[in-house]
Structure 1
């Protein structure tokens, strides 16, 4: 599926708003598209989209739409406005990088110059000024600001297999570990700049992806792929390593490089067969301040979708997902490839919540505790509950005390999300704040910022009795500032 933005960067008065969402189909499985279908031909500024509930959520500024085909003709016949109030003052900074976390929240982000104000059934309008990341839960219609930070223009947001996420500011190609600046702040407060996993050598970035594919060698698994469009034109590759409570990363050999001056890689995804697809916007002009918006040299006719395979290695066999029984979908959550588990969660999200949750409880109970991946499998079961808005305090407590620190850190994030519905949530958070692993402590310190009691400050400060590091110290300072404002 590809978004086509013919009216870029801004439609001309009296011109039809006819941007498109296209389906490219490879009917003979030779790695080349044989058919192009127009799923939607009347959207506007489609700067991001993601599948959901048998349809697709797509940006169509100033709205976020849900489109669905109910009669199988590959054209939408259901159109629902689910979010309104997204700013479109500068379309280069418009809503982008749509991605679900493992627990069912959808994230998208916008850049500076924008002033978005979104009505919510859960309280006052949600406001964001001068850049940030939104978090939207389709199941409950909750929306909030996930990151309020002075990005120039964020492009790129990815989650790894443990739910650890990274947000990239596209303009400077600066990648940040999200927990360090995604604690609660209150409008118009912004987070300070956190430590970075690595220093980039070039800019700007248009999109990111984490490589998780059996088709590629083991040593490449988990690498961060960063698309770059000016200083270096291609796909950069970084290898992550644990460092203190967070991460460090080292640049290694690029995945793609081109000397074509019009080559502009724009988005990237790992496919179900393990290959990597990326789009090439292919445009000689990409600036919006250096060139007139109506500059006739802007290329509206060329663009490509490329497919990358690893020479000499077999492609992965795509898992059967669509229409599969709930039990089979739950077993796919054991797959080592992130994309398989991601699509299985989306498919489970289409099913009746009660049925899925009941099956998930049985599935978790039947897991082999001797399996080396048991802790991750059990965490996946917890995320299924979170996706379907079904609190299971007992399962949460079990994962909070997992022997795997990454599972404990992920469960601490779930505890933060369920804090109003889990008994003694702050007491549980206090245990996490004194965990032996600094990443768990950092998640607990971040989580304290969402509580509105003086005791939350005391819990966050418990972490200082154990070793500190720059990421943990930064997160603590941000939480303290938020809680102090509540007490004044």
Structure 2
């Protein structure tokens, strides 16, 4: 077993990184400001939200629940978090957070809750259960990994040993193993997007709305996720889809490098933490038939520090890449006893990767923008700005009239696709945009429109005939 416990000094850990030429890394936050970051996401103001679980992997008998949702801010623009707010505490092994819809969605073991600050003090004073009935058979398999799609829905994952039975207005929805869910907050509708995988812990949309996942216990690298796809270990599956990289490391988290700050050679590359190997792997995808081929390329970065455990990666509002480092000398899995004294419960780091000679993008507070300004930013060249603007649109009232007028003036496929998603994000179906894109000569735009039809076919007149064409 491991006896040589590495020095926890962040300065020594920073010196242990192996970085490609032109790349720099900076410590954003460390203990005691944060501890055990599980997942992170940015809000429309550019603040970093994360869930922190020092209790993991189980609560000590007699102990109080003390896990938290934290908000980190860099108030002077130097890249280092200098303000921390405890948005919520008394949580039980939270595994995901998504700031959205005027509050934050949090995965809290058996349930997904919505937290909201109504008096402006920065702390949640309202707590509402959104969905419940998720299994708890294994704490590293419970419901996790929140991603807001361009369609405005909340996507989340669960893993192989979890058996979920959700009561919804549309009936009971069950998932008896690993898989990926989507949830429409306005209607409370929860459905399964894909089944299977062993311990999926990464999920992402690409530039044209296609979805991919990684598996923390599987060995197939990147997985091409599409509606009703079924992967290994799904109970009773008669046919399965394999991942794109058989024999690859087990991965946790997933991001696509994007934005003008990222050098051209890296844009579009998928990166995924190999938490066992103290590194972040990189993959390049190319279309192949109705799916993709995926080629593993040189590691994005690695570390010789044995406590570096990257588990989440996110593009930030400044164009830099942010890494959540669970920080522990032993693997936080089932290989080591839950009560092993080497398990770390108090440390954690957030790292920030930037590129020399590449200007950062302007960090913006979209909460101060008008609807007109938000719509303009949904067709920005910067993907992070498009996502932040679209998420902010969901918090506004009477968006549809201005959105419809704006959409009618767009002529290129890229802008029309963003507009189609804007409509979806505010729970409206833009039939004309769908028909325009489904007839595009570019298969990427046809696929984007087809995905919308899948989710909203009841509102698309002649959907079956459109698909046949």
Q: What TM-score do the two structures reach when normalised by structure 2?
A: 0.85
Residue 280 in structure 1 maps to residue 325 in structure 2: yes
Q: Secondary structure at the match of 1:300?
A: coil
Residue number in structure 2 paired with 1:379? 417
User: 2:113 touches 2:130 (CA, 8 Å); kept in 1?
Assistant: yes
Q: Which residue of 2 aligns with 1:102?
A: 150
Do structure 1's residue 343 and structure 2's residue 388 form an aligned pair? yes
Q: Answer whether contact 1:180 1:194 (CA < 8 A) is retained.
A: no
**Shift of residue 287 of structure 1?**
4.3
Q: Which residue of 1 aligns with 2:207?
A: 161
- Aligned counterpart for 2:440 among listed residues 402, 405, 418: 402
Give 1:191 deviation, angstroms: 6.7
User: For residues 10 and 337 of structure 1, do their structure 2 counterparts lie closer, same or farther at Cα, with a shift above 3 Å needed?
Assistant: same
Q: 1:134 to 1:180 in 2, by over 3 A?
A: closer
- Is this contact kept in 2: 1:104–1:386, CA < 8 A? yes
Match of 1:365 in 2: 408
SS at match of 1:92: coil
Residue 69 of structure 2 corresponds to 21
* Partner of residue 356, structure 1: 399
Residue matched to 2:452: 414
- Secondary structure in 2 matching 1:341: helix
1:316 aligns with one of 340, 358, 361: 361
Per-residue deviation at 1:200? 4.9
Task: Say which of 189, 214, 227 aligns to 2:260.
Answer: 214
How many residue pairs end up in the alignment? 418
Matched, 1:140 2:183: no
Aligned pair 1:393/2:436, yes or no?
no
User: Do structure 1's residue 305 and structure 2's residue 354 form an aligned pair?
Assistant: no
Change (3 A) 1:218 1:200: farther
Kindly provide the CA deviation profile for residues 281-321 of structure 1, in whole angstroms up to 9, marking residues without a partner as x: 11122244322222222111221110111022211112341
CA contact (8 A) 1:181 1:194 kept: no
Change (3 A) 1:412 1:305: same
- Greater mean alpha carbon deviation, residues 320-329 or residues 59-68: 320-329
Q: Structure 1 residues 147 and 276 mapped into 2: Cα distance closer, same or farther (>3 Å)?
A: same
Farther-moved stretch of structure 1 (410-419 vs 282-291): 282-291
Among 225, 228, 236, the alignment partner of 2:274 is 228
Normalised by the length of structure 1, the TM-score is 0.82
Please state whether the residue corresponding to 2:105 is helix, strand or coil. strand
Aligned partners of 1:357 and 1:384 also within 8 Å = no
Between Structure 1 and Structure 2, which shows a larger proportion of helix residues? 1
Which consecutive residues of structure 1, in runs of 5 or more, have no partner in the other structure?
Answer: 432-488
1:34 matched residue in structure 2 = 82
What is the alpha-carbon distance in structure 2 between the residues aligned to residue 320 and residue 287 of structure 1? 36
Change (3 A) 1:95 1:430: same
Deviation at 1:180, TM superposition (A): 7.0
Contact 1:181 1:191 in 2 (8 A): no
Q: Is the 8 A contact 2:204 2:212 kept in 1?
A: yes
Equivalent residue number for residue 443 of structure 1:
none
Deviations along 1:237-273, whole A, 9 cap, x unmatched?
A: 1122222222112222222201111110011110011
- 2:175 equivalent to 1:152: no
In 2, Cα distance between equivalents of 1:131 and 1:39: 30
Structure 2 partner of 1:447: none
Aligned: 1:295 with 2:332: no
What SS does structure 2 have at the residue aligned with 1:384?
A: helix
State how far apart, in whole Å, the 1-side matches of 2:365 and 2:85 are.
23
Kindly indicate whether structure 1 or structure 2 has the higher relative contact order, using CA contacts under 8 Å at least 6 residues apart: 2
Give the superposed CA RMSD: 1.8
- Paired residues of 1:146 and 1:183 also in contact (CA < 8 A): no
- Work out the CA distance in 2 between the residues paired with 1:192 and 1:264: 34
Q: 1:290 to 1:198 in 2, by over 3 A?
A: closer
- The aligned counterpart of 2:127 is 79
Separation (CA, whole Å) in 1 of partners of 2:226 and 2:214: 13
Give the C-alpha shift of residue 420 in structure 1: 1.6
